[in-house]
């Protein structure tokens, strides 16, 4: 189950046991960050490794939490946050960029607007590559962050009843999350307008993984019995026709009135950013855990970087003095 030296392009690159290893290691990282009951922060030793972040699309959470995670691990970060400032603007291919940046760092995090770009990048790179979102294809580290939050609250990932709501066609977070949940034996309810339904190949994939997803456009009608509702933004930047976006923006708004119909213990997660699909009044509802979910991106990404770099054992025990003690 060694993760050392591996890439993470698709969430299914990791087995359920490997995902559990990341989440368990993330719990240790969270403790080291002072998330434990005693709030004690353990010292982290300096780490002679460099993380490179290459973002060809906007990001707040993913890029900053990866960079924070590496700095918290004691390592260093080099960043190319704006593709317009790189030689991509002169026509350099992604494969060449991957080869070049591999010479400057020990691990690469890449976000790019094209589906499949992460795979192409990983094939050309000579250091581990983490997919931080490739077009509307996948966003596997968001899924690890989602699962970390979900497991902390529910105590398990198995057999939960989960609603995925919003733009299931273009939302890359749900394209990674749905297969991971299906493989854990979760019941899935896909809630979207028909035009923004989960792509057929993904519906097929979750069925191959054992789920029989229900499909509806009725959010209120789908709330009954849910353990978790995962809201998503309508992905404006993916629509070829702006008029089509205008048709669907605001199609779902989760507010206090709707939440009165939801189970008392139904968590609300969202990968963020939100636009209008969760009313601000919801932020005070104890079931709304999306800000905590986003904060979890740091320990999860610390765990992932540490495992891919081989600076923690598969047991989660540190190879470095001063990191997380087992
Ligand atoms: N959830 C997420 O990917 O957020 P960013 O686009 O801000 O990274």
Q: Residue 247's pLDDT is what?
A: 83
Q: Is residue 68 part of a domain?
A: yes
Same domain, 22 and 157: no
Same domain, 283 and 202: yes
**Pocket residues for ligand 1 (CB within 6 Å)?**
59-62, 133, 139, 142, 271-273
Under the banding of pLDDT at 50, 70 and 90, the label for residue 86 is confident
Same domain, 50 and 176: no
Give the pLDDT mean for 232-245: 86
Q: Is residue 321 part of a domain?
A: no
Residue 284 has a CB neighbour count (10 Å cut-off) of 8
Same domain, 265 and 251: yes
pLDDT at residue 179 is higher than 90: yes
* 228 φ, ψ (degrees, to nearest 5): -150, 135
Same domain, 32 and 152: no
- The DSSP-derived string for 12-65 is GGS-HHHHHHHHHHHHHHHHHTT-STT-PPPP------EEEEEESS--SHHHHH
Range of the domain at 252: 140-293
| CA 268, chain centre distance (Å) | 15
pLDDT at residue 248 is higher than 90: no
Catalytic sites, residue numbers: 61-62, 90, 111, 139
Q: Is residue 157 part of a domain?
A: yes
Mean pLDDT over the full length of the chain:
92
Q: Read off the pTM.
A: 0.94
pLDDT in tens, 130-143: 999 999 999 999 99
Can you tell me whether residue 131 is helix, strand or coil? strand
Q: Residue 1's pLDDT is what?
A: 63
pLDDT in tens, 276-291: 999 999 999 999 999 9
pLDDT in tens, 284-315: 999 999 999 999 999 999 999 999 999 987 76
Same domain, 173 and 287: yes
The closest residue, in CA terms, to atom 5 on ligand 1 is 59
Q: Is residue 261 part of a domain?
A: yes
CATH value at residue 226: 3.40.50.1370
Total count of domains within the chain: 2
Same domain, 274 and 212: yes
Give the pLDDT mean for 35-41: 68
Q: Which of 54, 43, 186, 153 is nearest to 107 (CA)?
A: 54
Paired tokens of 69: 């995670």
Atom of ligand 1 nearest to the CA of 63: 8
Percentage of the residues of the chain whose pLDDT score is greater than 90? 80
Give the pLDDT mean for 225-233: 97
Q: Is residue 317 part of a domain?
A: no
Same domain, 120 and 145: no
Residues 6+ apart with CB under 8 A from 73: 44, 47, 302, 305, 306, 311, 323
pLDDT at residue 321 is higher than 60: no
* Distance (Å) from CA 296 to ligand 1 centroid: 13
* Distance (Å) from CA 319 to ligand 1 centroid: 31
Q: Euclidean distance between the first and final Cα of the chain, in Å?
A: 18
Task: Output the CA–CA distances (angstroms, integers) from residue 297 to 9, 86, 87, 252, 272, in the order listed.
Answer: 17, 27, 29, 26, 12
Q: Residue 324's pLDDT is what?
A: 43
pLDDT at residue 87 is higher than 90: no
Integer Cα distance of 54 and 164 in angstroms: 29
Atom of ligand 1 nearest to the CA of 64: 8
Q: Which of 164, 230, 238 is nearest to 198 (CA)?
A: 164
- 36 or 194, which is more confident? 194
Residue to mutate, 62, 64, 269, 295, ligand 1, most ligand atoms under 8 Å from C-beta: 62
Q: Residue 250's pLDDT is what?
A: 86
């Amino acid at each position: 189950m060694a993760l050392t030296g591996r890439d993470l392009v698709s969430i299914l690159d990791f087995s359920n046991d490997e995902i559990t290893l990341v989440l368990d290691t993330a719990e240790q990282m969270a403790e080291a960050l002072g998330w434990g009951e005693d709030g004690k922060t353990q010292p982290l030793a300096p780490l002679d490794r460099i993380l490179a972040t290459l973002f060809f699309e906007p990001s707040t959470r993913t890029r900053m939490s990866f960079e924070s995670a590496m700095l918290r691990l004691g390592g260093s970060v080099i960043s190319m946050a704006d593709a317009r400032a790189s030689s991509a603007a002169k026509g350099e291919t992604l494969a060449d960029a991957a080869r070049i940046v591999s010479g400057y760092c020990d691990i690469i995090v890449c976000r790019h607007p094209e589906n499949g770009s992460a795979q192409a990048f990983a094939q050309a790179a000579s250091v581990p590559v983490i997919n931080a979102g490739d077009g509307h294809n996948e966003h596997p580290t968001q899924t690890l962050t989602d699962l970390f939050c979900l497991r902390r609250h529910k105590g398990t990932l198995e057999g939960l009843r989960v609603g995925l709501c919003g733009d299931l066609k273009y939302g890359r977070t749900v394209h990674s999350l749905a297969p991971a949940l299906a493989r854990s034996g979760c019941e899935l309810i896909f809630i979207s307008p028909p035009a923004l339904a989960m792509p057929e190949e993904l519906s097929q994939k979750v069925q191959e993984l054992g789920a029989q997803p229900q499909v509806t456009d009725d959010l209120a009608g789908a709330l009954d019995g849910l353990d978790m509702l995962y809201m998503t933004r309508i992905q404006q930047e993916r629509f070829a026709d702006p008029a089509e976006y205008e048709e669907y923006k605001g199609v779902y708004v989760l507010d206090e009135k709707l939440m009165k119909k939801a189970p008392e213990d139904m968590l609300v997660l969202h990968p963020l950013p939100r636009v209008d699909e969760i009313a601000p009044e919801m932020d005070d509802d104890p079931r709304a855990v999306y800000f905590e979910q986003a904060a979890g991106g740091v320990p999860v990404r610390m765990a992932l970087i540490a495992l891919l770099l081989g600076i923690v054992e598969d047991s989660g025990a540190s190879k470095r003095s001063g990191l997380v003690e087992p």
